[in-house]
Amino acid sequence: MEKAIGLGVVGLGRAFTLMLPTFLQDERVRLVAAADPRSNAREMFSRDFNAPAYEALEDLCGNPDVEAVYIASPHQFHAEHVRVVAAAGKAMLIEKPLAISLADCTRIVELAAQTKVPVIVGHSHSFDGPVLHAAAMLNSGIFGAVRMLNALNYTDFLYRPRRPEELDTRQGGGVVFSQAAHQIDIVRLLLGGLIDKVRACTGSWDSSRPTEGAYMALLTTHDGAFASATYSGYAHFDSDELMGDVSEMGYRKDSTAYGAARSRILHMDAAREAQLKIAGNYGGKDYRFKASPATPYHQHFGPVIISAERADIKLTPEGLVIYSDAERKFVSTPKRPVPRAEVVDELWDAVRLGLDPLHCARWARATTEVCIAILESAQTGKDVALQFQVAPSRPVPNPDERELRDEYDH
């Protein structure tokens, strides 16, 4: 195997901790530096990885060991951080959403095109094995064209400890920027990418958390396909129940924890809640690294059912159930030993093999455009027509082929 990619991280928060099991286990990447304004996070990083941690992103970018930068800072900083990293000529893995305005998304798309640095936008749950598997099968044409799709997710998102701006839509808060970024990415990948119009409603039902906690969107394509995307983060019903009690991260869920998110932050003011989030983050006093034991399950983002001309397909945490004319059959999706290895696949393919990423900046701008259209349609009560939609830049590889390639590579 070629040399591991030297990865620098900007933003040592929750997103970083969720990617850490991947970075620790995947031999294709090596953590070589970090940048974060929090000194305790920097100290922990330097101790854990025997590597420098800087206050300023510019210093991180000046480190010659850094080949690619994982931008995991809060969304409102993504556009500025991309500018700094692109100027240094480094590749980027940018957390979703790409940015919180279309103007910023376009600036990122243009920078990527001008500098030709590889840009991958993720993690998002459209990297999940069963989503890629379904997309590859649909691409093969065996089930005919996709006609309809239903995606649904009920979580406790709004009641997890938050920074104040995460509850302010103008600063990128709420479930549309944070969670539709996953769900719409999945829907677009399975529908072929090209959404024509969006009609949506959003719900802001808790005045103490004054941002969108729920949405329902109807998406249509030029060729007549349609999809509904529904999300609630209000910590009541939990749709993991419909996924065999497997959590978003692919673990068996503890059903006795009902109500825990809401009660944890009950009667807390905004400052104490932000402190609680920081305390549980990397470098914080309550942070404990959880070595993730291998699980038989894929990560997921709630139930998804696709209706194609000749079959319905249901995504599960283990694979796909295919309901065709003559039979109902389960097809297992090969599970990689490293969680979220699919994200490193795209980074590796772009940085080492020079391939175009599927989750490129244009792709992510198109997903963000749908998210922003959900907010606009909810306000105006009208359909919103889209202009930045793109199809996947290359066919989605079948996970079986990837397994074979992995075996061959090592």
Ligand X SMILES: NC(=O)c1ccc[n+]([C@@H]2O[C@H](COP(=O)([O-])OP(=O)(O)OC[C@H]3O[C@@H](n4cnc5c(N)ncnc54)[C@H](O)[C@@H]3O)[C@@H](O)[C@H]2O)c1
Residues that bind ligand X (CB under 6 A): 10-15, 18, 35-38, 41, 72-75, 77, 95-96, 123-124, 163, 178, 281
Distance (Å, rounded) from C-alpha 166 to C-alpha 153? Answer: 19
The token duo for 400 is 């079986």
Instruction: For residue 34, give the 3-state DSSP assignment.
Output: strand
CA-based nearest residue to 359, from 373, 372, 342, 374: 342
Distance (Å, rounded) from C-alpha 86 to C-alpha 310? Answer: 45
Give least dist CB 192 to ligand X, A.
23
Cα distances (Å, whole numbers) of residue 215 to 153, 168, 208: 10, 16, 18
Cα distances (Å, whole numbers) of residue 217 to 145, 226, 359: 21, 10, 22
Pairing of strands 214-221, 195-203: antiparallel
Distance (Å, rounded) from C-alpha 181 to C-alpha 187? Answer: 10
Give least dist CB 18 to ligand X, A.
5
Q: Which residues contact 152 (CB under 8 A, 6 or more apart)?
A: 229, 230, 231, 239, 242, 302, 303, 304
Give least dist CB 297 to ligand X, A.
16
The answer to whether 78 and 51 have CB atoms below 8 angstroms apart is no
Give least dist CB 227 to ligand X, A.
21
Nearer to ligand X by Cβ, of 274 and 321: the residue is 274
Using CB positions, name the residue nearest to ligand X. 13
Give least dist CB 11 to ligand X, A.
3
Give least dist CB 356 to ligand X, A.
21
